[in-house]
Amino acid sequence: MSDCYQIYYNNDTQQASFKVLESLASKHSDFIISPEFNEFSCDVYALLDNPDSNIIAVDWDNTFTAYPEFYNALILKYLSLGFKPIICTLRSSEKDDVHEICEAMETGKVDICPTNGEPKQHYIKKNKGLSVNLWIDDFFPGIAQCESELIVKNGIEMLHF
Ligand SMILES: [Mg+2]
């Protein structure tokens, strides 16, 4: 266990979406961005998907909820720069689940996308016809299968599975 909040990113560091995350994280002395995959020390994963998309998909439980102040600020920053941040959660689309999320957000300009437990990348493509630029999530298997192109191209190799 580390005292720092460790953000995993192992992709193109020149991406505008990453630079926003990097810049805000650098203002927190206890935040580290690391390209080293270690499932025991990484708190959250930032995975680059489609660089041509302007959608930033932020997970809710144990991602946003772990640092609401940071993620509210991050979402506002993305909005101000023309990105389209959304909250994409494995939660159900039941009213109470979604209501709780809306209540905690500082802005009403963010779509809440519950996938009812379905893998997020596939769900968003199938139901909304959208692809995502950057996924920010504490549980990457909830986005796509471990052997999928997205996971592999972001440097994650599940050697012992
Ligand atoms: Mg989560």
Say yes or no to pLDDT of 27 above 50. yes
Say yes or no to pLDDT of 107 above 90. no
Say yes or no to pLDDT of 2 above 60. no
pLDDT tens digits for range 125-137? 999 999 999 999 9
Indicate the number of domains in the chain: 1
The verdict on residue 18 lying in a domain is: no
Dig out the tokens for 22 from the structure.
């990097």
The verdict on residue 65 lying in a domain is: yes
The verdict on residue 161 lying in a domain is: no
Ligand 1 centre and the CA of 80: distance in Å? 25
Ligand 1 centre and the CA of 63: distance in Å? 5
At 62, give phi and psi (nearest 5°).
65, 5
For residue 56, list its beta bridge partners.
Answer: 85, 134
CATH code assigned at 91: 3.40.50
Ligand 1 centre and the CA of 60: distance in Å? 6
Say yes or no to pLDDT of 1 above 70. no
* Nearest CA-CA partner of 18 in 149, 151, 134, 157: 134
Integer Cα distance of 98 and 9 in angstroms: 28
Residue range(s) defining the domain that contains residue 98: 46-153
Q: What is the mean pLDDT of the chain?
A: 94
For residue 33, list its beta bridge partners.
Answer: 7
The verdict on residue 21 lying in a domain is: no
Dig out the tokens for 149 from the structure.
């192109």
Say yes or no to pLDDT of 160 above 60. no
Dig out the tokens for 120 from the structure.
């997020």
Say yes or no to pLDDT of 143 above 50. yes
Q: What is the pLDDT of residue 159?
A: 63
What is the distance between the terminal CA atoms of the chain, rounded to a whole angstrom? 22
- Which of 1-5, 7-11, 44-48, 148-152 shows the lowest mean pLDDT across its residues? 1-5
Ligand 1 centre and the CA of 1: distance in Å? 18
Query: What secondary structure does DSSP assign to 101-128, as a single string?
Result: HHHH-S-S-SEEEE-TTS-HHHHHHHHH
The verdict on residue 159 lying in a domain is: no
The verdict on residue 4 lying in a domain is: no
